[in-house]
Amino acid sequence: MDENRELPQQAEDTGESPGESGEPEKKKVDLAMELFDWAQSLVFAFVGIVLLFAFVASVFSVSQTSMTNTLQDSEMVMISRLPYTPRHSDIILFTKYGWQSSYNENTGQYSPLVKRVIGVPGDEIEFVMDGAVGTVFRNGEPLDEPYIREPMTYWAHGQSIPQYFVVPEGCVFVMGDNRNGSHDSRLTDIGFVDERSILGRVILRVTPLNKFGPVT
């Protein structure tokens, strides 16, 4: 046997398994991808919120007492802005252009009003008085109205109101739940509300938090 023959060199044992030396770079790539995914998700969420409040819903602060006790002054509500056909008992937000009491000199715009839909096109609305207290009839039937603050009297804001209305096409007849403290369709300066002036339907009370939930 040739003693001068060189023996194969043994690989030096470094204590690392194959591919282990590339782990730090792989972890950096994984972290970068995870951060990118998070950033992308946040961007999509932000865009979704912007679109939601631009086209689907908005938040409105109640600044009137005509819907007491259903809605209180300074409460925040969410409005659905999706197109829809008004229905009986819906609570809507609308603008009454030309009514000076709702004109805001600071913004140069008319402030939105919030009321409840009592009549839709074709409905006959009648107020039947029993002494000083009135009952609302729609198409000959008395309305069950558990939401009103108190029974309606014939006088509204010092004015004697008509007792019979027929809702024209394209309009709704609205009233506040605080019947004796509401300026609404009973009075000529508000009158019937054009459906095109409806800004949305109240769907949710946002604040106070202890009353958070649907509004009916």
58 given a catalytic annotation:
no
190-207 per-position pLDDT tens digit: 899 999 999 999 999 999
115 given a catalytic annotation:
yes
56-108 per-position pLDDT tens digit: 678 888 888 999 999 999 999 999 988 889 999 999 999 887 665 676 767 77
* pLDDT above 70: percentage of residues in the chain: 72
What's residue 22's pLDDT? 62
What's residue 33's pLDDT? 76
What's residue 46's pLDDT? 58
Q: Which amino acid is at 55?
A: F
Nearest to 196 by CA among 90, 119, 114, 94: 94
What's residue 105's pLDDT? 66
14-23 per-position pLDDT tens digit: 555 555 556 7
Query: Which one of the listed residues 17, 26, 66, 101 is annotated catalytic?
Result: 66
Between CA 151 and CA 60 the distance in angstroms is: 28
Query: Which one of the listed residues 96, 115, 182, 185 is annotated catalytic?
Result: 115
Q: Inform me whether the pLDDT recorded for 115 exceeds 70.
A: yes
Q: What number is the average pLDDT over the span 23-29?
A: 69
130-151 per-position pLDDT tens digit: 777 888 999 999 999 999 998 8
